[in-house]
Amino acid sequence: MSLPAWLLERLQAAGGRVPFSTYMGWVLHDPEHGAYGAGRLRIGPAGDFATAPSLGPDFAALLLPQLAEWLETLAAEPDARLALVEAGPGEGSLAADLAAGLAAGWPALAARTDLLLVEPNPGMAARQRRRLADCPLPCRWA
């Protein structure tokens, strides 16, 4: 298998050898070429690989009762805003399913809860913004 031209050029410019962490940073996070960085990667049964949240809403449905219990505990503090934080949200499927499930099953909690998505790759964040355009909870990215 041959290396893509951009990667070959970069390796040659770096003297032909780089630490594994540098290599992974390039191929995953480069904003133009990286699998996540460019936002071209597709997660799901018809994509590059599948994850539990990408197979449907069942994974979120399993998590929701426990998350709601924890949010209820935090909600004991009057007027405090609550947050669901997801690191590495991929296509945003889990966040979208959790938000929809919370709004449907625990509307009072949903009204006090924000979604915070921790995503370093602009390309993936753009995909998540599209997926969450109709999200019933306020969404923020960090």
CA distance 119 to 141: 7
Q: How many residues bind ligand SAM (CB under 6 A)?
A: 15
Token digits of residue 6: 């951009």
Spatial contact of 37 and 28, defined as CB atoms under 8 Å apart: yes
Site for ligand SAM in 71-130 (CB under 6 A): 87-90, 93, 118-121, 124
CA distance 48 to 110: 33
Q: Which stretch binds ligand SAM (CB under 6 A): 17-25, 50-58, 64-72, 96-104?
A: 50-58
Report in angstroms how near the CB of residue 46 gets to ligand SAM at its nearest.
14
CA distance 62 to 42: 24
The residue with its CB nearest to ligand SAM is: 90
The residue among 8, 142, 7, 18 whose CA lies nearest residue 83 is 142
Q: Does 63 bind ligand SAM (CB under 6 A)?
A: no
From the list 30, 43, 82, 116, which residue makes contact with ligand SAM (rule: CB under 6 A)? 43
Which residue number, 35 or 112, has a Cβ lying nearer to ligand SAM?
Answer: 35
Distance, C-alpha 78 to centroid of its chain: 29
Spatial contact of 94 and 88, defined as CB atoms under 8 Å apart: no
Q: Which stretch binds ligand SAM (CB under 6 A): 10-18, 51-59, 75-83, 96-104?
A: 51-59
Report in angstroms how near the CB of residue 77 gets to ligand SAM at its nearest.
28
**Chain contacts with ligand SAM (rule: CB under 6 A):** 36, 43, 51, 53-54, 87-90, 93, 118-121, 124
